[in-house]
Structure 1
Amino acid sequence: MKKTNLFIFLVLPLFCLAQSTLKLKGKLSDGTTPLALENIVVSTPEGKIVSGTITKDDGTFEIKISKGFYKIKITSLGLMEFEKEITIEKDTDLGLILLAGKTNDLNEVIVKTKKRTVEQKIDRLVYNLENNVSTTGGDALSAINTAPGVVVQNNAINILGKGSSRVMIDGRIVELSGEELNGFLKSISASDIKNIEIITTPPAKYDANGTGGLININLKKGTRDSWKNTTTLSYDQNKYGIYTFRDNFFYNKNKFRFSASVNTKSGHRNSEENLALYFPDGLQQMKAQLKINEENFSGKLAVDYDISDRTTIGFQYLNDRNNPNFKSNVAINNYDTENTPKSIILNNGFNDRGIGNQTYNAHLLTKLDTLNRKLSVDVDYFKYDSKFDFDFTTKTYTPDMTFLSTNQSGRNISNQNIENKSLKVDMEHPFEFVNLSYGTKISFTKSNSNLQFYDNITGTPILDLTQSNEFEYYENNQAVYINANKEINDQFTIQLGIRVENTQTEGYSANLNQRIKNNYFKLFPTFYLTYKKNENNSFNFNYGKRINRPRFDLLNPFRVYINSNSYSEGNPFLKPSYSDNFELSHSYKEVLRTSVYLNRITDGYGVIFTSDPATNTQVVTRENYYKGINYGVGESYSADITKWWSTENTLYLLGSKTKFTSGINATPTNGLQLSFSTTNTFSLAEVTKLQVDYTYSSPVKSGLYTIGYMSGLNIALKQNLFKKSMQIAFLANDIFNTNYLKDFVSVVNGIKQVYSQNDSSRFFKVSLIYNFGNTKINIKQRNFGNEEEKRRL
């Protein structure tokens, strides 16, 4: 009862806000002079007039209107009529509208508009890919890595200064992370992406999980009353070669919309790892050379149907299968305290891996009335399965390669299956005094890990029960949220929200006969305030509380061998961490953006690289071991320098202050980091574009780790052929081979470890894209009342 009263107390102020009104404006001209006293009529898609005005002497007009989907119509004697369906979500400027004389050759008006590469909204940054040359022929992961303020490092997708971020597809959370998430994103074609939203402080509508915010990938839906097909062939050359084939098809006519895509990949990539461990009795130096299979097959199918002018139903299915097998050749050189070679250990093995996931979604969207009240229902099912079969043998040699002994031979088999079922209901409910949205979500997750270790030193596999285990994990989550938006006046807009999540977890280790339960009830408030000082300057402040729940595989307490001298083990006692995120930003003419942020983290958990000096073995564990503050300031500048040169630039100064809260035997390190990126696009001709990208991150000390610098120079060229129906693109990525993880240092229990990994950072790609279709399918001549729903779906 106390929790209920508290919830009512917190959300009650949201209903006290007033109705949001927005501005719709533009300017009318016949090409030479402004058009005064012309009629501007705004109506619903069904034809009901809701507002109108006439143009002023200078041809300008301005209409105050609520959020919604409308039809605007302009009539002028002797000139062409202007009619446009438009969604009003914020103040909208239609720009200069030219009305030409009525002739048999002219059947439409020209609206001069240009989509910006980066658009700032009250709670997110929207990144439009269409101007980026380097993503041509690429995948979703490479596209995310080009987004402003986002970096992909060591299998983690990070919003700079925020930490690891979760990913959504069309507003739906992808229940994957790390290497598995990256593999899934590589199966999505960049040409299938409409835009990418960087949500540093997610509104209450979205799941509270993920301290680093959310990255939402919006996929294309196809142009109305048309069909289109895009076929892409590409070849990547690193040390090895990778062939990729993608095909995306869109069909949209009357009440029916359909899209399908298929992606296949075949080849290999090279990965190099180096690790130095400084034990009391001398240095141990490891070098691994991996040839990783890039075999992949994935596809997407989506169908939407308008069962009435107000109601749409749909279904979406995604399937992704990977088989990233690799042969493992690991050489370990051991030295004494005087750096004299003692022995060489060769670890040879084969890792047979299979990864697959399937995503099903059924949705319904209905407009309840002409007041734009909308109800949406989503039913989702996600299934993930992973197979890990590592067979290895370790032999020891003298420094001159004389065989001494076979010291280990084993087989490590791990299978993991994850199922997630969820039901989500969202309501948009505009009142005269407030724009309100609210909803609920119920989610059920089950994870099963089966780990078996066989000792094969005698030649006969023997199951080692002390290193085998079956681990089951259940997580149920119930959430409700409410969000309210209010335009107080022409300058101030406020948005408040709160999300309540109730979570129950249970983990069970069969081998240990150990059951761990956890129940917690948490409130996650959000707050946004926008101040528009004038046409050129606007300010935004936001705050949000987030949670970061451990990945399912991190909770399994038993070990998985990386090689004979290194293994990883989970921790069933891992707790979620929490963060309070504050950000203040300023935008000047939507060209120069400045942001200042601070994130406070409690119960922070992460990877700890420890070691066993008795056996000279590296041990990778996870703990809740720190609390701290991340802070920084960021600048981004985007502009068209000339008609043929456009530029996008970011500069971040990042810092942290970390304090260890567990008994870990280490000293925290803190320092500042500089991160810079620039993207410059040159129009060499009407059909030719050249793009030059450069990124740099300075060395940094943060918490338990010190990380070396990273930098990368990329050059991309795109040529349009046959009236843009065909494109050929070239990409030289990381030309100087410097954009990889290096000098990753940690010191725990007095043992220093230095690690580096280069996962084919330098490569060359050539892509051929062919587009064909029909943009004018014959349709029934009628008014559509569901364009807003189609955009949202």
Structure 2
Amino acid sequence: MKKANLLIFLLFPLFCLAQSSFKLKGKIFSETTSLEWADVSISNSEGKIIDGTTTKQDGTFEMNIKKGSYKIGISLLGFTDYEKDILIENDTNLGTIILKENTTNLVEVVIQSKKKTVEQKTDRLVYNLENNVTTVGGDALSAINTAPGVVVKNDLITILGKGTSRVMIDGRMIELTGEELNNFLKSISANDIKNIEIISNPPAKYEAEGTGGLINIIMKKGVHDSWKNTTTLSYDQNKYGIYTLRDNFFYNKNKFRIAASINAKTGYKNADEALDMYFPDGLSSMKSVTKVKNENLSGKLAVDYDFSERTSVGFQFLNDRNNPDFGSNIRIEKYNTQNQLQNVTLNDSYTDKSSGNQTYNAHLITKLDSLNRKLSFDADYFNYNSKFDRNFTANNYTPDMTFVDVNQSGRNISNQEIDNWSFKADMEHPLQALNLSYGAKMSFTNSISDVFYYNTITGNPELDPSQSNRFKYTENNQAVYINGDKKLNEKWNFQLGLRLENTQTSGFSETMNQETENNYLKLFPTFYTSYKRNENNTFSLNYGKRINRPRFDLLNPFKVYINSNSYSEGNPFLKPSFSDNFEFAHSYKEILRTSVFVNVITNGYGVLFTSNPETNTQIVTRENYFKNLNYVVGESYSAGLADWWSSENSLYFLGAKTEFIKNINATPSNSLQVEFSTNNTFILSKTTKLQIDFSYSSPFKSGLYEIGYASSFDIGFKQDLFNKTFQIAFLANDIFNMSYLKDFTSVVNGVKQVYSQNESNRFVRLSVVYNFGNKKINVKERAFGNQEEKKRTGN
């Protein structure tokens, strides 16, 4: 009852914001279908734009306007502009407005070339990647990495200053993480992406999981009664070669919408690693060269059917398979305190690694009335499985490479399977005072992890029970949310939301006969306000509280060997961390954008690189060991230096203050970090573009770790042929090979460790894209209701 009273108290101010303004609404259609993303503007008698919005997926728009005479303007790429004088004396419905198609191809090309690369909206930053040549022939992951203020490093997608970010497609969550999320995004062609939205503080409708903001990928759409097929073939050359073939088919006619895709990748990439560990009795230096198979096959089938103008149902199936087998040659050199080489260990290993997931989704969407009340239901089933099978042998040698003995010989097998069911309902409920939305979700997860270790030093595999285990984990989650937003007038907008999540977890280790349970009920508020001072200046302030739950595989307490001198182990006692996120932003003419982030993390968990000096072994563990205060000041500048030259530039200053909440025998250290990037597009002709990009990240200290600098210099070229039926693109990525992770340093228990990793970031790519069919395609993309659980299955 207290929580209900709190909810009413917090939302009451929104209900009291109703003003003496009137509601203006309407629908925008072509001759065959509704038009999404049409720009609607309202001008006063002096011709000055005083308000505006964009149409929703069903072509509707709505805004609050004071009494008076105005001119409404509607524009959309590929259609003739619409203007009309209107008189507002009460609530007004303009009905259905039909836009006529503009068939002049030359005009369309000119408009596209001048489209802004970055647009500042009231609650998000919109990145139009069609101007960036380096994304042609690429995938969604590479496209995200070119977005302003977003960095993709070490399998993590991060909004600078916000932490690891979640990814959506057309407003629906994709909750995979790490390698699994990257593989999913690599199966999506960048050519089918309209723009990318960067949302620093997500509203209460979305799960509170994750410390960072949201990356929302908006797919291209078109009109009814059409079909389209896009085939992309690309070849990447690093030390080895990688072939990628993608085919996407869309069909949209009458009441049916079908989307099907298949994506295949095969080839190899090279990965070099180096690790220096400074033990009391001398240096242990490890160098590794690995040839990684890049093999992926994925597909999707989605079918939607409209029972009526108000109700539609759909089904979607997604299957993704990866087989990144790899063989490693590892050399470990041991020195004494006088820096004299004492012995050499050669470690040869081969890993048979595979993973896959299947997702089934059924959904129903119904519009309840003419007031745009909309109810949606989703039912999802998700299955994830992975296999890790490593054989390794480590032999000891004298400094002159005379064989001494076998250091270690073993086989490490790790399997994991996760099943998840989820059900959710969402309601959009516009009121006279404010736009209200609310909903609920239930999720049920079961996970089983097996770890087996066999000692093969005698030639006959012998199971070691002390290093083998079966770990069972269950997690159930129930959540409800309510969100309200209100446009007070032409200058002020407010939004307030609350999400309540109840979670029960249980982990059981069969070998240790140990069960760990954790139950918690948490409230996650969000608040947002924006102030439009004039046409040139817009200010915004927002706040959100979030939770970061450990991935399922991090909770398994047993060892997985990386090599004979290094192993990783999970922690069944890991607890979620929480973050409070504040942001203040200012936009000037949508050219200069200033952002100030403050992020407070409590009970933070992360990786600890500890060691055992007696055996010269590295131990990779996870602990809740810190709390953090992060702060960021960022500037972004969009410059049209000439009709043929546009430039997007950003400069971020990041700092932190870290405190260790657990005795890990280490001292926190922080320093200022600088992130700079410049993306430059040159229009050489109507069909030819050149792209030159540069990014730089300074060395910095963050809590337990110190990280070296990274930079990347990229050149891209695109040529359109046969009225864009064919596209040929060339990309030289990280030309100077400086974007890899270097000098990753930590000191725990008096042992200094320095790690570097280079995974073939330098490569050249040649891509050919072929489009045929009717290009004006309208396909509704949909993700899955249990995506929060899928996120935590990553490797």
TM-score with structure 2 setting the length: 0.89
Partner of 1:597: 597
Q: Specify whether residues 792 and 540 from structure 1 end up closer, same or farther in structure 2 by C-alpha distance, changes over 3 A only.
A: farther
Is residue 266 of structure 1 aligned with residue 288 of structure 2? no
Partner of residue 413, structure 1: 413
Residue 119 of structure 2 corresponds to: 119
Cα distance, 1:162 vs structure 2: 1.1
Tell which deviates more after alignment, 671-680 or 221-230: 221-230
**Aligned ranges for residues 547-696 of structure 1 at < 5 Å?**
547-696=547-696
CA distance in structure 1 between the aligned counterparts of 2:584 and 2:102, rounded to whole angstroms:
47
The Cα shift of 1:182 comes to: 1.9
Q: Are 1:211 and 1:578, in contact at CA under 8 Å, matched by a contact in 2? A: yes
Partner of residue 79, structure 1: none
Return 236-245 or 15-24, whichever deviates more: 15-24
Give how far 1:89 is off.
7.7
Displacement of 1:23 after TM fit? 9.6
Cα 1:98–1:284 shift into 2, 3 Å: closer
Alpha-carbon deviations, 1:198-236, whole Å to 9, x = none? Answer: 221110000000011222233345543321111111000
Which stretch of structure 1 is more off in the superposition, 91-100 or 6-15?
91-100
Whether contact under 8 Å (1:151, 1:159) holds in the other structure is: yes
In 2, the alpha carbon distance for the partners of 1:515 and 1:135 equals: 48
* Identity over aligned pairs, percent: 65
Q: 1:94 aligns with which of 51, 74, 81?
A: 74
Contact 1:525-1:545 at 8 Å conserved across structures: yes
2:41·2:52 contact (CA, 8 Å) conserved in 1? Answer: no
Inter-partner Cα distance in structure 1 for 2:765 and 2:701: 34
Aligned to 1:509: 509
Partner SS for 2:736: coil
Q: CA deviation at 1:98?
A: 5.8
Residues 1:5 and 1:244: Cα distance change in structure 2 (over 3 Å)? same
Which residue number corresponds to residue 81 of structure 1? Answer: none
Aligned to 1:311: 311
Q: In the alignment, is the contact (CA less than 8 A) between 1:45 and 1:69 conserved in 2?
A: no
Q: 1:108 to 1:488 in 2, by over 3 A?
A: same
Compare 191-200 and 701-710 and name the one that shifted more.
191-200
Cα distance in 2 for partners of 1:209, 1:734 equals: 33
Determine the C-alpha separation between the residues in 1 that align with 2:326 and 2:583. 43
- Work out whether residues 53 and 61 of structure 1, in 8 Å CA contact, stay in contact via their aligned partners in 2: no
Alignment deviations for residues 489-530 of structure 1 (CA, whole Å, 9 cap, x no partner): 111101111111111111111111111111101111001110
User: Structure 1 residues 640 and 379, CA, compared in 2 at 3 Å: closer, same or farther?
Assistant: farther
Query: How has the CA–CA distance of structure 1 residues 2 and 252 changed in structure 2, closer, same or farther, with 3 Å as cutoff?
Result: same
**Measured at CA, do residues 115 and 69 of structure 1 come closer, stay the same or move farther in structure 2, by a change above 3 Å?**
same
Structure 1 residues 256 and 21 mapped into 2: Cα distance closer, same or farther (>3 Å)?
farther
- The within-5 A match list for 1:54-65 is 60=47
Does the 8 Å CA contact 1:20/1:487 hold for their aligned counterparts? no
Query: Which residues in structure 2 correspond to 1:175-574 (within 5 Å)?
Result: 175-221=175-221, 223-574=223-574
Q: Letter of the aligned partner of 1:660 in structure 2? A: F
Q: CA deviation at 1:169?
A: 3.3
AA aligned opposite 2:233: L
Q: Cα distance, 1:281 vs. partner?
A: 0.6
Distance in 2 between the 1:11 and 1:186 partners? 41
Where 1:173 maps in the other structure, the secondary structure is strand
Q: 1:232 to 1:89 in 2, by over 3 A?
A: farther
How far 1:747 sits from its partner (Å)? 0.3
Deviations along 1:118-152, one digit per CA (max 9) or x if unpaired, are 23333322222222211111112111111111111
The CA deviation at 1:367 is 1.4
Structure 1 residues 46 and 619 mapped into 2: Cα distance closer, same or farther (>3 Å)? closer
- The residue that corresponds to 1:781 in the other structure is none
**Does residue 148 of structure 1 match 2:148?**
yes
CA change 1:500–1:19 in 2 (3 A) is farther
Alignment of 1:693-732 (within 5 A): 693-732=693-732
User: Which position in structure 2 is the counterpart of 1:76?
Assistant: none
- Superimposed CA distance per residue, residues 386-421 of structure 1 (whole angstroms, 9 cap, x where no aligned partner): 100001111000111100001211100000112222
1:139 match: 139
Instruction: Give the structure-1-normalised TM-score.
Output: 0.89
1:369/1:345 CA distance change after superposition, 3 Å = same
2:89 paired residue number: none
Indicate the residue corresponding to 1:169 in structure 2: 169
Q: Assess if the C-alpha contact under 8 Å between 2:28 and 2:60 holds in 1.
A: no
2:162 partner letter: K
For 2:195 and 2:695, the matched residues in 1 are separated by 22
Moved more, 200-209 or 225-234: 225-234
After superposition, what is the alpha-carbon deviation per residue over 1:437-483, rounded to whole angstroms, capped at 9, x for unaligned? 11111111222111100111111111111000111111111111111
Matched residue SS, 2:182: helix
User: Which has the higher mean CA deviation after the structures are superposed, 145-154 or 758-767?
Assistant: 145-154
Distance 2:782 2:285 in 1: 54
Contact 1:167 1:174 in 2 (8 A): yes
Query: Alpha-carbon deviations, 1:732-782, whole Å to 9, x = none?
Result: 0000000010010000000000000000010000000011112589xxxxx
SS in structure 2 at match of 1:273: strand
User: In the TM superposition, what is the alpha-carbon distance from 1:168 to its structure 2 partner?
Assistant: 2.8
Q: Say which is worse superposed, 445-454 or 267-276, in terms of deviation.
A: 445-454
Match for residue 27 of structure 1? Answer: none
Give the Cα–Cα distance (whole angstroms) in 1 for the partners of residues 101 and 249 of structure 2. Answer: 31
Question: 2:772 maps to what in 1?
Answer: 772
Contact 1:21-1:65 within 8 A present in 2 as well: no
Aligned-pair Cα RMSD in Å: 2.9
Separation in 2, partners of 1:57, 1:402: 92
Q: Deviations over 1:289-337 (max 9, x none)?
A: 0000001101121222211111122222221101000011111011111
CA contact (8 A) 2:14 2:433 kept: no
Distance 1:393 1:99 in 2: 73
Q: In structure 2, what residue type is equivalent to 1:599?
A: N
- Which residues of 2 match residues 735-746 of structure 1 at below 5 A? 735-746=735-746
Which fold has the larger relative contact order, with Cα–Cα distance below 8 Å and residues 6 or more apart in sequence?
A: 2
Moved more, 599-608 or 438-447: 438-447
Asked if 1 retains the 8 angstrom alpha-carbon contact of 2:221 and 2:776, the reply is no
Equivalent-residue separation in structure 1 for 2:259 and 2:63 (angstroms) = 26
**Higher mean displacement: 477-486 or 160-169:** 160-169
SS at match of 1:134: helix
> What one-letter code is carried by the residue in structure 1 that aligns with 2:521?
F
Q: How far, CA to CA, are the matches of 1:239 and 1:555 in structure 2?
A: 36
Q: Paired residues, what number? A: 745
Worse-matched range after superposition: 731-740 or 414-423? 414-423
For residues 152-211 of structure 1, the C-alpha deviation after alignment (integer angstroms, 9 at most, x for no partner) is 111211111111122233434334222232223222222233332222111000000001
Q: Given that residues 418 and 447 in structure 1 are in contact (C-alpha distance below 8 angstroms), is that contact kept between their aligned partners in structure 2?
A: yes
Question: For the Cα contact (< 8 Å) 2:170–2:781, is it kept in 1?
Answer: no
Are residues 147 and 624 of structure 1, via their aligned partners in 2, closer, same or farther at CA, if it must alter by over 3 Å? same
Report the more deviating stretch, 647-656 or 631-640: 631-640
Alpha carbons of structure 1 residues 360 and 22: separation in structure 2 relative to 1, 3 Å: farther
- Determine the C-alpha separation between the residues in 1 that align with 2:50 and 2:668: 57
Letter in 1 for 2:632: G
Q: Deviations over 1:231-282 (max 9, x none)?
A: 1110000000001111111112222211111110110000000000000111
Report if aligned partners of 1:123, 1:202 keep a CA contact under 8 Å in 2: no
Once residues 621 and 531 of structure 2 are traced to their aligned partners in structure 1, the CA distance between those partners, rounded to angstroms, is 46
The 3-state SS of whatever aligns with 1:494 is: strand
Q: Which whole-Å CA distance do the structure 2 matches of 1:56 and 1:578 have between them?
A: 47
C-alpha distance in 1, partners of 2:472/2:64? 47
Residue 455 to residue 89, structure 1, CA distance change in 2 (3 Å): farther
Return 5+ residue gaps in structure 1 as ranges: 25-40, 72-84, 778-786
Residue identity opposite 1:340 in structure 2: Q
CA distance in 2, matches of 1:251, 1:718: 28
